[in-house]
């Protein structure tokens, strides 16, 4: 017996919103990156849930997707954090509202 | 029944830690709460019979990415310590509102779809052998591409974060993480 | 030798070529200009002589040659030339006179600045006149007719700096133009009715039997025969060119030109062209059972003869007297054509050409000798000072007056009077002709007495005889003035037979046959009486000084004054036609300035208005709209760029907002 699919999806949506809220409402660039990781994770959860509850779980499609997603998220986190460090070195700040030199 | 209760408990746990990760003041606490949230998710994966993914999640996210974030926090310490520094963005309410809108939209979508209220069929399994076999046959191309991507990301991160004096390097690895090198550059700016 | 007809065009072409070459010469290339002109005319005259001798023995006596000038859709316009006795005689006369007068001009125009231009124009004139003479097509004749008018204009106004000369040239051209319009109308009518403008075309020409029969049979406006109407129009052209009343007013004024011009053009050739035209078109004029055209011609001629002779009595300018004399003699020629036919008129034309040009050249010699003086009251006693001039002038005068037996004018005038006497319609022309003969002798006596007899009026600057280059042509002309007469006496009417295509026989008895003797005696008496009267008034008591009043003026002041003022014809014309013309010209100017000009201005104002409207619409409408659009765009861009504050979180928020809205839209769309 397990929960219906919609509960997993609600959970995923919740996590996604929390991650999104943090990404857009906090000042520190690192918090933004954490928020993004949370969003990615929420998406992964969605895939696994659909894989599990879907019509053809033997195709392993969801699992594959999530594996690759995790790998990519890792790469992206590495590069993103390297960027943060570089910016910190240059500007002495990682507060995103001060990093507006691309202002139109 | 036990599956459901487990799920709900882990869900609450995960959501709480995620919320904490987004709202705590000190960045290290945020990082650690985020790690906990990742761990919670790993457990949900396990509960969903995706064992390999759950362990992969633990290894990569908790074991590497979270540590990475902690390293980054530690390396950019100077900015945060200044007193009187607000931690929220000046217009954080607008952002929160947008997030709420997104949540509302998704919730409405999910709750209004009758096909999503189904129950799990039985007998879904993802044996590692089969995962390996799929990776090597059907998903061989994405696998290779991921290899290239990770190589590129590795090189890129090194190049971006590199200083004139070759000092701290933040290597990114995939499934088998190594502990980072000693933190010499803690005081360096 | 034989002169082939198709090369007849060389005769006018040669002087035309010389005129063209002469136009290219510079002002100081005088000898070249004179040699070109004289050479051209001389060779042309030689060719004319050959043509004349060819025609003397030619059978048939008329040869033509025509070619197609151009094609107009389905009709062709032919031109051509004809060699018949009329042509041959005219060629000889025109060529010889042109040659003699050109040589005379060498002396007369020797001091003139525009010597070269003179010979160029004279060659042009000679070419055009010869063209009229050889023309077989009324179109070609008309073209050369106009060219002759043009040369006359150019030569009358030769000294164009003199306002009087310029005005006289204009008057000549415009007055003859009136006649030319009538000629053109006649030509067009003839073409439309007969289908051809060729005179003789192997039976198809417009002067040949079939065409004439048709024209004479048809009737037109006023019940006139068609041939009469066309003939009258053609005669109207001759009226202008030959100075018949009422279009005679240009001829006296044409004396403003140099005297050789007066001699060649206004005595012998151009004014004779009108007579020639009537002679050429004589078959048309005399077509039908009752040729009314000939009657009109006769009356006009007779009236002109007396009219001009009367005016000549009271003139004081030596050339003007001779000019009016020319008008009078032209009247005689027309009268002769009307009553007696081609031969009668043409005989007087030929004799007149010789003695009138002789008189003009003599007058030129007198003027040259008196250093430019032209008023006869200021001359006198030139008999002793200019003997050659006096002798030749006397011959010419006697020929003009018609002194019996030895002088050509007598025989030709006698022909005319004899034909007028025998005219079935009326004898009034005969009386007019006789009166004209009396007046002619009278005014010539007056002129000769005042010029040559008595004592010199102004003894200050004595006159001198002219150089041989001027007196030798005078002598030659004097000889011809005598000899030509013998070609047409009734005893041996060679001239008349030649023109009619018959052969002449020597019949001395014809001299005294029938009314011939009576007429001979009558004309002798008339001339003698006039001589006597003139001698009585002017000869014995020649004017002692130029301030003395003319005796006739003393005795008949009213009549004399009227005649001296040319019967005020010029003034009448000025008050009527010229004023009308001026009024019409003013009206046309008003129309042009106000109506047509106004219309054009209105159109242009409309265009300017349209363009202004366009521009203002462009400025305020399009430009402003465009500017507004661009400003709006910029504003929007400014707003968007304000939105781009460089902060990532704002972008993320917007992305999230978009995501949310899309989801909601999807949900509602799927519901």
- Pick from B22-26, C153-157, C337-341, C566-570: least confident: C566-570
What is the share, in percent, of chain C residues with pLDDT greater than 90? 23
Count Cβ atoms below 10 Å from residue C75 Cβ, excluding itself. Answer: 11
Q: What ipTM score was computed for the predicted complex, to two decimals?
A: 0.92
Give the C-alpha separation, C234 to C281, whole Å: 8
The helix (H) or strand (E) run that includes residue C305 is helix C292-313
Name the residue among C453, C266, C437 with its Cα closest to residue C376. Answer: C453
Q: Report the mean per-residue pLDDT for chain C.
A: 85
Return the DSSP state at C6: G
pLDDT surpasses 50 at B85 = no
Q: Which two tokens stand for residue C290?
A: 């009752």
Comparing CB atoms, the residue among B65, B78, B142 nearest residue A37 is: B65
Q: Which two tokens stand for residue C526?
A: 């008339």
For A5-98, give the CATH class: mainly alpha
The more confident residue out of A4 and A14 is A14
For chain C positions 91-130, those within 8 Å of chain A (CB to CB) are none
C661 neighbourhood in chain B, CB within 8 Å:
101, 105
Give the C-alpha separation, C183 to C177, whole Å: 9
Nearest CA in chain A to C637: A104
In terms of average pLDDT, the best of B139-148, B160-169, C76-85, C405-414 is B139-148
Q: Do A24 and C644 touch (CB under 8 A)?
A: no
C289-313 pLDDT, tens digit per residue, is 778 888 899 999 999 999 999 888 8
A78 and B68 Cβ atoms separated by less than 8 Å: yes
Q: How confident is the model at residue C245 (pLDDT cuts 50, 70, 90)?
A: confident
Secondary structure in 3-state letters for C191-208: HHHHCCCECCCCCCCCCC
Q: How confident is the model at residue C493 (pLDDT cuts 50, 70, 90)?
A: confident
pTM of the model: 0.64
pLDDT surpasses 70 at B167 = no
Q: How confident is the model at residue B189 (pLDDT cuts 50, 70, 90)?
A: very low
pLDDT surpasses 80 at B3 = no
Secondary structure of residue C64 in the 3-state scheme: strand
Domain segments of chain B: what residues?
1-77, 127-166
Per-residue pLDDT, averaged over C352-370, amounts to 88
Q: How confident is the model at residue C560 (pLDDT cuts 50, 70, 90)?
A: confident
Domain segments of chain A: what residues?
5-98
Q: Do C652 and A23 touch (CB under 8 A)?
A: yes
Name the residue among C184, C183, C182, C128 with its Cα closest to residue C155. Answer: C128
- Pick from A26-35, C348-357, C367-376: least confident: C367-376
Per-residue pLDDT, averaged over B140-156, amounts to 95
A5-20 pLDDT, tens digit per residue, is 889 999 999 999 999 9
B72 backbone dihedrals φ, ψ, rounded to 5°:
-65, -40
Query: Counting one residue from B and one from C, how many pairs have CB atoms under 8 Å apart?
Result: 34
Q: Do C667 and B89 touch (CB under 8 A)?
A: no
Q: What is the per-residue pLDDT for A90?
A: 87
C243 backbone dihedrals φ, ψ, rounded to 5°:
65, 35
Q: How confident is the model at residue C508 (pLDDT cuts 50, 70, 90)?
A: low
Please, what is the Cα angle at C429 between C423 and C435, to 5 degrees? 135
Residues 6+ apart with CB under 8 A from C205: C136, C196, C198, C199, C211
pLDDT surpasses 70 at C546 = no
Per-residue pLDDT, averaged over B168-183, amounts to 53
Q: What is the per-residue pLDDT for B183?
A: 53
A45-59 pLDDT, tens digit per residue, is 999 999 998 888 888
B109 shares contact with chain C (CB less than 8 Å): yes
pLDDT surpasses 50 at C376 = yes
Comparing CB atoms, the residue among A20, A23, A100 nearest residue C647 is: A100
C649 neighbourhood in chain A, CB within 8 Å:
23-25, 32, 96-97
Q: How confident is the model at residue C608 (pLDDT cuts 50, 70, 90)?
A: very high
Give the C-alpha separation, C518 to C414, whole Å: 11
Q: Which chains touch C (3 or more CB pairs under 8 A)?
A: A, B
C165 and C158 Cβ atoms separated by less than 8 Å: yes
pLDDT surpasses 70 at B173 = no
End-to-end CA distance of chain A: 55
Give the C-alpha separation, C380 to C366, whole Å: 11
Distance from CA of B161 to the nearest CA of A (A): 5
Q: How confident is the model at residue C610 (pLDDT cuts 50, 70, 90)?
A: very high
Count Cβ atoms below 10 Å from residue B165 Cβ, excluding itself. Answer: 7
Return the DSSP state at A26: B
Q: Specify which residues C68 forms β-bridges with.
A: C78
Please, what is the Cα angle at C159 between C157 and C163, to 5 degrees? 75
Query: CATH number of the domain at B1-77, please?
Result: 1.20.120.1200
C498 and C487 Cβ atoms separated by less than 8 Å: no
pLDDT surpasses 90 at C367 = no
pLDDT surpasses 80 at B90 = no
Give the C-alpha separation, A31 to B89, whole Å: 11
Q: How confident is the model at residue B84 (pLDDT cuts 50, 70, 90)?
A: very low
Nearest CA in chain B to C659: B102
C234 and C172 Cβ atoms separated by less than 8 Å: no
Name the residue among C136, C147, C170 with its Cα closest to residue C265. Answer: C147
Q: What is the per-residue pLDDT for B89?
A: 65
Per-residue pLDDT, averaged over C242-262, amounts to 88
Give the C-alpha separation, C367 to B65, whole Å: 137
Give the C-alpha separation, C122 to C16, whole Å: 10
pLDDT surpasses 70 at B108 = yes
Distance from CA of C634 to the nearest CA of B (A): 27
Give the C-alpha separation, A6 to A8, whole Å: 5
Query: Counting one residue from A and one from C, how many pairs have CB atoms under 8 Å apart?
Result: 35
Side-chain-facing half-sphere of A67: CA atoms under 13 Å: 22
- Pick from C300-314, C417-431, C504-518, C537-551: least confident: C537-551
Q: What is the per-residue pLDDT for B83?
A: 44
Strands C75-83 and C63-72: antiparallel
C651 neighbourhood in chain B, CB within 8 Å:
none
Residue C585 burial class via C-beta count within 10 angstroms: exposed 0-12, middle 13-18, buried 19 and up = exposed
Q: Specify which residues C78 forms β-bridges with.
A: C68
């Amino acid at each position: 017996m397990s929960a219906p699919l919609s509960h997993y999806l609600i959970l995923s949506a919740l996590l996604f919103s929390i991650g999104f809220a943090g990404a857009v409402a906090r000042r520190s660039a690192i918090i933004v990156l954490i928020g993004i990781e949370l969003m990615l994770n929420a998406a992964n959860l969605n895939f696994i849930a659909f894989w599990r509850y879907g019509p053809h779980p033997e195709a392993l499609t969801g699992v594959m997707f999530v594996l690759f997603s995790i790998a990519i998220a890792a790469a992206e986190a590495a590069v993103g954090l390297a960027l943060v460090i570089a910016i910190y070195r240059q500007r002495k700040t990682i507060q995103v509202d001060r990093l507006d030199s691309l202002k139109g | 029944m036990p599956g459901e209760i487990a799920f709900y408990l882990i869900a609450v746990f995960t959501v709480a830690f995620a919320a904490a990760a987004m709202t705590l003041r000190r960045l290290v606490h945020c990082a650690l709460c985020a790690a906990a949230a990742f761990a919670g998710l790993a457990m949900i994966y396990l509960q969903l019979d995706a064992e390999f993914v759950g362990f992969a999640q633990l290894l990569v996210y908790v074991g590497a990415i979270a540590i990475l974030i902690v390293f980054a926090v530690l390396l950019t310490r100077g900015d945060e310590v200044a007193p009187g520094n607000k931690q929220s963005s000046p217009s954080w309410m607008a952002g929160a509102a947008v997030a709420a809108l997104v949540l509302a939209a998704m919730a409405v979508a999910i709750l209004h779809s009758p096909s999503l209220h189904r129950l799990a069929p039985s007998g879904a399994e993802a044996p590692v052998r089969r995962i390996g076999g799929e990776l090597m046959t059907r998903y061989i191309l994405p696998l290779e591409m991921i290899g290239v991507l990770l190589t590129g990301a590795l090189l890129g991160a090194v190049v971006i974060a590199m200083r004139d004096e070759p000092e701290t390097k933040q290597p990114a690895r995939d499934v088998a993480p190594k502990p980072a090198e000693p933190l010499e550059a803690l005081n360096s700016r | 030798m034989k002169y082939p007809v198709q090369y007849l065009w060389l005769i006018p072409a040669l002087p035309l070529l010389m005129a063209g070459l002469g136009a290219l010469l510079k002002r100081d290339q005088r000898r070249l200009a004179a040699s070109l002109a004289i050479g051209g005319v001389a060779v042309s005259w030689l060719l004319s002589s050959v043509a004349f001798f060819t025609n003397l023995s030619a059978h048939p006596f008329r040869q033509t040659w025509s070619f197609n000038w151009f094609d107009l859709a389905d009709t062709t316009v032919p031109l051509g030339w004809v060699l018949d006795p009329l042509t041959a005689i005219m060629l000889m006369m025109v060529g010889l006179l042109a040659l003699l007068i050109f040589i005379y001009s060498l002396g007369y125009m020797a001091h003139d600045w525009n010597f070269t231009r003179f010979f160029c124009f004279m060659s042009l004139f000679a070419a055009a006149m010869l063209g009229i003479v050889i023309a077989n097509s009324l179109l070609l004749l008309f073209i050369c007719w106009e060219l002759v008018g043009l040369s006359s204009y150019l030569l009358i106004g030769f000294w164009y700096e003199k306002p009087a000369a310029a005005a006289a040239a204009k008057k000549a051209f415009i007055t003859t133009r009136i006649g030319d319009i009538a000629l053109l109308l006649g030509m067009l009518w003839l073409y439309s009715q007969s289908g051809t403008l060729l005179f003789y075309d192997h039976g198809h020409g417009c002067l040949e039997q079939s065409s004439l029969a048709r024209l004479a049979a048809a009737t037109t406006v006023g019940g006139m025969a068609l041939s009469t109407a066309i003939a009258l129009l053609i005669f109207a052209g001759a009226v202008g060119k030959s100075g018949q009343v009422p279009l005679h007013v240009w001829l006296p004024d044409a004396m403003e030109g140099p005297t050789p011009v007066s001699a060649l053009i206004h005595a012998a050739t151009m004014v004779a062209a009108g007579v020639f035209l009537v002679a050429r078109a004589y078959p048309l004029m005399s077509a039908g059972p009752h040729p009314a055209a000939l009657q009109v011609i006769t009356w006009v001629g007779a009236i002109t003869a007396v009219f001009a002779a009367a005016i000549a009595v009271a003139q004081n300018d030596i050339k003007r007297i001779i000019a009016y004399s020319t008008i009078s003699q032209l009247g005689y020629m027309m009268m002769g054509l009307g009553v007696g036919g081609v031969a009668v008129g043409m005989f007087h034309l030929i004799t007149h050409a010789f003695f009138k040009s002789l008189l003009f050249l003599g007058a030129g010699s007198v003027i040259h000798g008196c250093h430019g003086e032209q008023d006869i009251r200021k001359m006198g006693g030139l008999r002793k000072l200019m003997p050659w001039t006096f002798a030749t002038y006397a011959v010419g005068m006697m020929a003009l007056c018609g002194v019996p037996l030895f002088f050509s004018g007598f025989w030709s005038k006698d022909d005319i009077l004899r034909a007028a006497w025998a005219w079935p319609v009326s004898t009034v022309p005969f009386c007019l002709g006789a009166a004209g003969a009396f007046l002619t002798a009278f005014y010539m006596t007056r002129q000769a007495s005042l010029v040559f007899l008595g004592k010199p009026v102004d003894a200050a600057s004595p006159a001198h005889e002219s150089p041989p280059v001027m007196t030798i042509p005078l002598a030659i002309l004097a000889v011809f003035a005598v000899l030509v007469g013998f070609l047409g006496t009734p005893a041996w009417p060679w001239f008349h037979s030649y023109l009619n295509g018959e052969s002449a026989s020597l019949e001395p008895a014809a001299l005294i046959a029938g009314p011939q003797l009576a007429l001979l005696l009558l004309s002798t008496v008339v001339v003698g009486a006039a001589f006597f009267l003139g001698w009585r008034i002017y000869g014995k008591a020649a004017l002692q000084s130029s301030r003395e009043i003319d005796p006739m003026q003393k005795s008949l002041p009213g009549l004399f004054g009227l005649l001296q003022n040319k019967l005020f014809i010029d003034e009448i014309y000025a008050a009527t036609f010229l004023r009308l013309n001026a009024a019409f010209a003013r009206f046309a100017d008003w129309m042009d300035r106000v109506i047509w000009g106004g219309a054009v201005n209105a159109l242009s104002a409309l265009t300017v208005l349209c363009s202004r409207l366009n521009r203002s619409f462009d400025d305020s409408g399009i430009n402003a709209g465009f500017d507004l659009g661009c400003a709006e765009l910029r504003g929007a861009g400014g707003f968007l760029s304000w939105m781009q504050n460089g902060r990532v979180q704002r972008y993320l928020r917007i992305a999230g907002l978009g995501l949310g809205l899309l989801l909601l839209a999807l949900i509602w769309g799927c519901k």
